[in-house]
Structure 1
Amino acid sequence: MLPLDDLTVLDFSTLLPGPLASLFLAEAGARVIRIERPGGEEMRRFPPRFGETSAPYAVLNRGKASVEIDLKTQNALARLTPLIAQADILIEQFRPGVMERLGFGYAALSRINPRLIYCSISGYGQSGPRSAEAGHDINYQAVGGLLGQSLKRGETPPLPPPLVADVAGGTMPAVLNVLLALRQRERSGRGCHLDIAMADAMPTFAWYGLAQGQAAGRYPEGGEGLLTGGSPRYGLYATADGWFLAVGALEPKFWEAFCEAIGLEEALRDDRRNPESTRTAITRLIAARPAPHWRELLEPRDCCCTVVRTLEEALADPHMTARGLFDAQAEEPGGRRLVSTPLPLAPVFREKLAPLRKVAASGDDTDALL
């Protein structure tokens, strides 16, 4: 028995935030039905291919049913009404106003099913000056002040690898608020409309800078913050073989253990005097030895220093595999299998997951469900 195995989710969303949110719900037991346009949603065409489908689509959509329907046709609402009437949750990811124009807005659907929890995920939310504006993850990070925390004026940095706005601003708040809405519905008997804006969560990740700025009367410039480049105790250092050591030795006990291990001279260990001199010395010391040396020397010392792993190395990491993060598999329509997107569900739930679930071809369940 799983926590959500008595719930039905209609997922009208595309690409990443919504489908990842419905994957969380599916893995917790919910029945998820993807509502896709004729030919399937955009992600089905994303490279690379894996057998008969897209690999990015497969890892996000295992275990979900698929219905194809053109929402612009006159009878679309009538055809979907039986599913809407029995659904508990609806997830959509169109720009604000699109679902209303199609006849599928919250007001219309709540008349069909007053208990429906209707979750709208968008870039800037359902209201506000930017609500109709197009954007992607990097734009939401930019507008919310998150990117500016680590950018130094005049320097061109590498792109940040995590899609923070999509996952932490879209998926995670959607799942959290859906669960809160379910709890509220237990008391009131009614559903609600959730307005999830990816940009809204970006200042959340700048929490430390917000506190600093208000207390000190000056907000830190890019690269000045404790966790964004302002301290030699927290950052990336290049090794002799061209790879990187991640140092997070913020607390005194970790910092002292790190300094002792690398042989940093005593005069530079008080990094408050001249942080840049300390950083320069550490940079020189770390650059003198290859990554395997630092892995062997520092990781056993428990001083918050870790050699960066590639994604391929992470897949084989003994800790990651012991936690079961890569156990779930998706099987594409042709029968080939690949590791599904790992989800940070508590082990008490993850242990109960079906290790293998199929990825439906677009429209596989249209006749059965409509």
Structure 2
Amino acid sequence: MKGPLDGLLVLDFSTLLPGPLATLILAEAGAEVIKVERPGRGDEMRSYAPRWGGDGVNFALLNRGKRSLALDLKDPASRAVLDPLLARADVVMEQFRPGVMERLGLGHAAIAARNPRVITCSITGYGQTGPKRDVAGHDLNYLGDAGMLSLSHGEAARPVVPPALVADIAGGAYPAVINILLALIRRGITGQGAHLDVAMADNVWPFLYWAMGNGLAAGQWPGNGTDLVTGGTPRYRLYAAGDGRLVAAAPIEDKFWAAFCDAIGLEPEWRDDARDPAGTAARVAAILATRPADAWRPVFARADCCTSIVATVQEALADPHFAARGLFARGVVAPDGARLPALPTPIAPALRADAAEAPWPALPA
């Protein structure tokens, strides 16, 4: 089946996570994606453990269905191989520090001089401009600079590191795809390409809408775990069941809170959680600790009160709901024929064009 991006050529100079995930999404919508990698080593993620099928399994998951080209971009003769591809490319993805592509003769202006319809997308930590444009960083730094880490890091003596690379994915890969698609629509109207400056630190801010609103409008600046969605209320937090497994309790609205209180048998004097939030939370925690998670599971299912048992990743992979949704129905295939479920992406099934089973690109010799 053809996808909405069928016939588009994407040259991908990026490595690791943000750019490769963005181009994976474009590939699944029908685009032809050619990765440009270093000779010999290729994308750093090829060497990451654990390995599967000869490369790092993370590389396999993020680069399914793409092709690869090995070139020394510092060598003018090698760069010349790109000329015919750059002349017809629709999208160029890159993830170097600001100015690197320009020094290589591959900046937007140089490519657009012969291909004015090209859309180049530059993903960086802090953007192409500003005092921090050349500062090195990773996901944790971008989340820290935007203030997100201050909202829910646990005890200072043992702070909790977020389990997801929020800035890389939600601040880099997803905004890149959104802006590329918008640029393609505009190009269809004007015939002109664009240079897209995607800064991961900038794109953390939509997650902080409530923190900005509380602080700027009401002077109620959030602290560490003090607010509605960060565990500052008994109605939205993690509790330990009797066996140590966690209960994700989110009965925020009054109707769900009433159902939750009924389900666990919370005494009337603790149900007004505005009176003594800490006392109510402590009593809820004490009740939930009296029974193991599997005993609470059917209780919450019957109550329908926005409360569930926290699953492990292994359990989530086996969840019948995700199976029914076809989330892991597609596969990534190794050279020896071994198969793993493909990484789910947010492409709607009606717009998906990639093959049900596909390999990742081998690094050309």
* TM-score normalised per structure 2: 0.97
Task: For residue 228 of structure 2, give the secondary structure of its aligned residue in structure 1.
Answer: coil
Question: Match of 1:327?
Answer: 329
Task: For residue 39 of structure 2, give the secondary structure of its aligned residue in structure 1.
Answer: coil
Question: Match of 2:166?
Answer: 164
State the one-letter code of the partner of 1:201: N
State whether residues 227 and 234 of structure 1, in contact with CA within 8 Å, keep that contact through their aligned partners in structure 2. yes
Range with bigger deviation, 325-334 or 44-53: 325-334
Distance 1:129 1:274 in 2: 46
Which of 71, 74, 77 is matched with 1:72 structurally? 74
Residue ranges of structure 1 left out of the alignment (5+ in a row): 365-370
Question: Match of 1:188?
Answer: 190
Task: For residue 279 of structure 2, give the secondary structure of its aligned residue in structure 1.
Answer: helix
Question: Match of 1:368?
Answer: none
State the one-letter code of the partner of 1:112: R
Distance 1:338 1:77 in 2: 35
Task: For residue 292 of structure 1, give the secondary structure of its aligned residue in structure 2.
Answer: helix
Question: Match of 1:30?
Answer: 31
Residue 91 (1) aligns with residue 93 (2): yes
Distance 2:331 2:351 in 1: 16
CA offsets 1:169-221 (integer angstroms, 9 cap, x no match): 00000000000000110111010000000101112111111111122213111
State whether residues 19 and 60 of structure 1, in contact with CA within 8 Å, keep that contact through their aligned partners in structure 2. yes
Question: Match of 1:290?
Answer: 292
State the one-letter code of the partner of 1:124: Y
Residue ranges of structure 2 left out of the alignment (5+ in a row): none
Distance 1:232 1:95 in 2: 44
Question: Match of 1:367?
Answer: none
Distance 2:303 2:3 in 1: 40
Question: Match of 2:7?
Answer: 6
Question: Match of 2:318?
Answer: 316
Shift of 1:155: 4.5
Question: Match of 2:138?
Answer: 136
Distance 2:317 2:57 in 1: 17
Distance 1:86 1:38 in 2: 23
Distance 1:154 1:31 in 2: 47
CA offsets 1:93-112 (integer angstroms, 9 cap, x no match): 01111111111111111112
State the one-letter code of the partner of 1:292: D
Range with bigger deviation, 202-211 or 21-30: 202-211
State whether residues 262 and 285 of structure 1, in contact with CA within 8 Å, keep that contact through their aligned partners in structure 2. yes
Distance 1:76 1:127 in 2: 30
Residue 104 (1) aligns with residue 136 (2): no
Distance 1:253 1:119 in 2: 46
Shift of 1:52: 1.7
**How many aligned positions are there?**
363
State the one-letter code of the partner of 1:151: H
* TM-score normalised per structure 1: 0.95
Distance 1:303 1:353 in 2: 38
Task: For residue 201 of structure 2, give the secondary structure of its aligned residue in structure 1.
Answer: helix
CA offsets 1:208-267 (integer angstroms, 9 cap, x no match): 111111222131112111101211100110111111010111111111100110011111
Shift of 1:358: 1.3
State the one-letter code of the partner of 1:80: L
CA offsets 1:117-138 (integer angstroms, 9 cap, x no match): 0000011111111111111111
Range with bigger deviation, 159-168 or 217-226: 217-226
Shift of 1:153: 6.4
State the one-letter code of the partner of 2:167: A
State whether residues 332 and 360 of structure 1, in contact with CA within 8 Å, keep that contact through their aligned partners in structure 2. no
Question: Match of 1:359?
Answer: 360
Distance 2:236 2:264 in 1: 15
Distance 1:97 1:172 in 2: 23
RMSD: 1.3
Task: For residue 320 of structure 1, give the secondary structure of its aligned residue in structure 2.
Answer: helix
State the one-letter code of the partner of 2:4: P
CA offsets 1:6-58 (integer angstroms, 9 cap, x no match): 21100000000000000000000100000001121101001101122211100
State the one-letter code of the partner of 1:174: A
CA offsets 1:311-353 (integer angstroms, 9 cap, x no match): 1111110111111111121112332211121112223234x54
Shift of 1:276: 0.5
Distance 1:248 1:269 in 2: 15
Which of 180, 192, 208 is matched with 1:178 structurally? 180
State the one-letter code of the partner of 1:115: R
State whether residues 12 and 93 of structure 2, in contact with CA within 8 Å, keep that contact through their aligned partners in structure 1. yes
State whether residues 125 and 142 of structure 2, in contact with CA within 8 Å, keep that contact through their aligned partners in structure 1. yes
State whether residues 153 and 161 of structure 2, in contact with CA within 8 Å, keep that contact through their aligned partners in structure 1. no
CA offsets 1:69-101 (integer angstroms, 9 cap, x no match): 000002233210100111100100011111111
Task: For residue 112 of structure 2, give the secondary structure of its aligned residue in structure 1.
Answer: helix
Range with bigger deviation, 194-203 or 332-341: 332-341
Task: For residue 323 of structure 2, give the secondary structure of its aligned residue in structure 1.
Answer: helix
